[in-house]
A and B are shown apart, each in its own frame.
Chain A
Amino acid sequence: MSTQSTPPKAVSGPLNFLDDRLGSTTFFRRNMKKVFPDHWSFMLGEIALYSFVILLLTGTFLTLWFQPSMHEVVYEGSYTKLRGVVMSEAYASTLHISFDVRGGLLMRQIHHWAAILFMCAIAAHMLRVFFTGAYRKPRELNWLIGIGLFTLGMVEGLFGYSLPDDLLSGTGLRITQGVAEAIPVVGTYIYMFLFGGEFPHGTHGEIIPRLFTLHVLLIPGVILALITAHMMIMWHQKHTQMPGPGRTNDNVVGYPFYPVFMAKTGAYFLFTFGVIALLATFAQINPIWMYGPYDPGAISAGSQPDWYMGVLEGSLRIMPNWETTAFGHTISWNVLIPALVPLGLVFGGAALWPFLEQWITGDKRHHHLVERPRNAPVRTGVGMAAITFYGLLWLAGANDVIAERFHVSLFATTWFFRFAIFIGPVLAFVVTKRICLGLQRKDAAVMHHGVEAGIIMMSPEGGFSEKHEPPTEEERAVILSKENKSPALRTADDNGIPAPGAKGPLGHLRGRLHRYWTFDDIPVEEHDHEEHAEVDEGARKELTH
């Protein structure tokens, strides 16, 4: 373990070559020991990143054989059940990839599984960031980029699974067309311009080649650019960290990028790839040969989109059949509302949230130490309400499957979701908020009385009591990371002049929201226990910043 050894020529040679031309060693020296805080939940974003890499690799493989064409051919390939059937070249070439190209089926299934995992990982990562308040200043930009990535991922996925031109994907396109037509004023124009004419073939079979270009070039290009920006901002701002002993708002505690984080993240890429390969090997996905080529007059029951489109499918299903016709024009509320409102609420709300929270709390400081979900009950409650809202709509997208599996009336499931979508989120909010406050109370109790030791003591009088022990240093650091909320927003300065934000109806609303955000906060404070007083003082100051 010599600390003064020099790297071998094979390493120093290229490094010096680059440094002579770019001055790159300054950058490497500064960054090779960069600290990456550790927590299992910090790896969710990595899953998304690596799934994207896998998508690029397998997608490129697929393009080598895929024919993005709606030109009709008679299938003569090796899948005997479809021989002699007229189908588009897109479908025929997808069959070719599946059955005649070695490893083709594996790559197709890896590609599809990776897409599903990509969206899952982004969703989970976003929830982690939301519930720990990691989106707070200065990280609002990365939060917005993340929302953009999820939205783009939905479109990318829809276009991707539409490409094989099988019965299921054609049905998805049919619904896309119906939704496009519902747009007021320009709907039919958008429909005609998207399909190059009427559904499905347009004038020369435009839709598949167009979706192909968007799917393999434009959207992945934008996603790649956004991911790059996301990573660079993360690198520059340094990752947030969970509260713990020695961790403050001003430092980063963890292991160095080189060699630890580098090795771990490399292993993590391999884990992600390995698990996706495992799924692709043993869990069949999108068996397009079972659906047959697209036929506008055919449909199969239980047609379900990929999971990330389920929320749209569900909202379309449970919407009442409202339509208005006036002055010779028709507005399809039954399509417009479900297509725009739920996702608009969830993603629009998510995009505005960091700024709304800042406005309500008046907190413009930088936060690098994340907040425990219990310590922001309103935020956590709103998050759970959003999950409930999204989750119910998503489930409603499978109401036929639910009705069939659980032997309930199909119409009953629809009615259930029509009500649950309003009641569920409110309930989730109230329950979550109560749980958070309960946990805050528990934290306060631990700071007050210590941890139940499980040791029963008998007093000289014969009474029994449980011994309480003081919390450990770690426990104390985590519990005391709570910032006790100040009850009132400063509405006036020392001279009694009202603050600019406190005036008018908007200022009034802000004051009320602020009160709602903080009024039931349970103060969690250090109490004077004989032995710990001086340690705690220090830790507390450090943590609350």
Chain B
Amino acid sequence: MSDNTGSNEPMESGDAVRKEQSPKRKVGTPAQGGRLLATDESEPAPQGAGAKLDEAAAKRAERVVAALFLLAALASVGFIAAYVWSGTQGPDGMHGIDDARASNYALGACMTVAMLAMAVGVTIWVRRLMTSKQIVQQRGELPSGEATRAEFEAAFMEGAEDSGITKRPLLRRTLLLAAAPLGLAPLVLLRDLGPLPEKRLRHTFWGEAVKQAKAQGKQGVRLVVDGTNRPLRVSDFATPGSMITVVPEGIDKSPHAMNEIAKAVTILINVPAEKFKPVKGRENWHVNGIVAYSKICTHVGCPAALYEQTTHHILCPCHQSTFDATDGAKVIFGPAARPLPQLPLSVDNEGYLIATGDFPEPVGPSFWERG
């Protein structure tokens, strides 16, 4: 049992064996009388022999501790100085990332030195200068004992009987009845936290936009590039293998634009014609191999934003659900259960890409009512 060094063994020993420094036991070396089993400390915790404190060593330790405390004080002053200095960089205090970085280094370094110098100082103080001895205390019994329990129980029952709650069930029952609806009230109060789901999750802005466009006599709504709001011609997107994020035209003017974008955001992919396998019943949903799928992953809703040109895989970077762009975005790998919903595409008279309807199914993660 000689190689216990460094294990979770206790390191302290009684006063009697604290006379000398205990070096680390090495594997295979003999145990020496009264030595520690193992220790991580070159210096034992409090010396525990106040009278025997070596005065010269104590003086040295005192000076070291004092020096550390002085260092901490200097660092704290440095912290204040660095704060003031940080404010002199620009016209109105700090300015931009470079100032912030410099200020962070100066303030942080001063703070670190102040804390650590004090911490080390106190530690040396405890270990070298404190003369408290190790002591032993008895734990005593935690439980109160049978007599006390019995006394309490008697008093409890006496109180219950005095109050009449045991004798008068009508009181007891009506009190419970009074409390029950009161407990429900907070739940009722939370009702206005949000609207009911209704059919919100079943349609996106594409449907509404197509309906509006058709009302104006158009064939569908134009796809515009997310961010620039530029409509796309088929000729703009003719390179096979390219991918871009699009939203319906006018979505930025809708009342809850951010919410609408979060549902309607779509990826447009130009799949090479020879690889493309249109889904049955959706043969006319693409334009020369240009297809559109919802960008919201059907797993938990991250944007499925990565497209691998060579394999035609759409990959969601969050949990690596992988979809096949050539085959109706069906799931190839990963935790997503359903393909990305497809958007019916067409071209309008001016050669712009348009959507002719909403996604045929709810976009994004599955939910109970989805069916």
Say whether A109 faces chain B, with CB atoms less than 8 Å apart.
Answer: yes
- Give the interface segment out of A17-25, A114-122, A265-273, A420-428: A265-273
B259→A245 contact, CB < 8 A: no
| Binary contact readout B273-293 vs A (1 if CB under 8 angstroms, 0 otherwise) | 000000000000000000000
Bound form: Cα–Cα A188–B201 in Å: 9
B12→A253 contact, CB < 8 A: yes
A132→B142 contact, CB < 8 A: no
B365→A332 contact, CB < 8 A: yes
Residue of chain B at shortest CB distance from A269: B119
| Binary contact readout B202-232 vs A (1 if CB under 8 angstroms, 0 otherwise) | 0000000000000000000000001000000
- Known pairs A174-B302, A302-B317; A478 contacts B366 (CB<8 A): no
11 A-B pairs in the complex with CB atoms less than 8 angstroms apart: A101-B94, A181-B364, A182-B300, A199-B301, A251-B137, A253-B12, A281-B112, A282-B105, A296-B258, A328-B371, A473-B17
Chain B interface (Cβ < 8 Å from any Cβ of A): 1-2, 4, 8-14, 17, 28-37, 40, 45-46, 50, 83, 86-87, 90, 93-97, 99-101, 103-105, 107-109, 111-112, 114-116, 118-120, 122-123, 125-126, 130-132, 134-139, 142, 190, 193-197, 200-201, 226, 245, 247, 256, 258-259, 261-263, 265, 295, 299-303, 305-306, 317-321, 331, 333-338, 364-371
Bound form: Cα–Cα A237–B119 in Å: 29
B256→A198 contact, CB < 8 A: yes
Question: Which 10 A-B pairs have CB atoms at the shortest separation, nearest pair first?
Answer: A281-B108, A178-B300, A274-B115, A446-B1, A323-B337, A270-B119, A296-B262, A267-B122, A274-B116, A188-B197
Task: Say how far A323's CB is from chain B's closest CB, in angstroms.
Answer: 4
B194→A192 contact, CB < 8 A: yes
Task: Say how far A341's CB is from chain B's closest CB, in angstroms.
Answer: 14
B301→A188 contact, CB < 8 A: no
B97→A103 contact, CB < 8 A: no
A469→B367 contact, CB < 8 A: no
Bound form: Cα–Cα A250–B138 in Å: 6
Residue of chain B at shortest CB distance from A101: B94
Q: Chain A residues with Cβ under 8 A from B125's Cβ?
A: 263
Interface size, chain A (Cβ < 8 Å): 141
Given contacts A38-B12, A106-B107, A195-B194, 11 further A-B contacts (CB under 8 A): A33-B137, A192-B200, A193-B190, A199-B259, A260-B130, A273-B115, A328-B369, A372-B8, A411-B320, A474-B13, A478-B10
Q: Among A109, A317, A328, A442, find the residue whose CB has the most chain B CB atoms closer than 10 A.
A: A317
Task: Say how far B288's CB is from chain A's closest CB, in angstroms.
Answer: 25
- Known pairs A178-B365, A181-B367, A193-B194; A102 contacts B94 (CB<8 A): yes
Partner of B97, one of A99, A372, A479: A99
Q: Chain B residues with Cβ under 8 A from A296's Cβ?
A: 258, 261-262, 265, 303
Task: Say how far A33's CB is from chain B's closest CB, in angstroms.
Answer: 7
Bound form: Cα–Cα A243–B1 in Å: 15
| Binary contact readout A325-343 vs B (1 if CB under 8 angstroms, 0 otherwise) | 1001111101100100000
- Known pairs A98-B100, A200-B258, A270-B118; A191 contacts B139 (CB<8 A): no
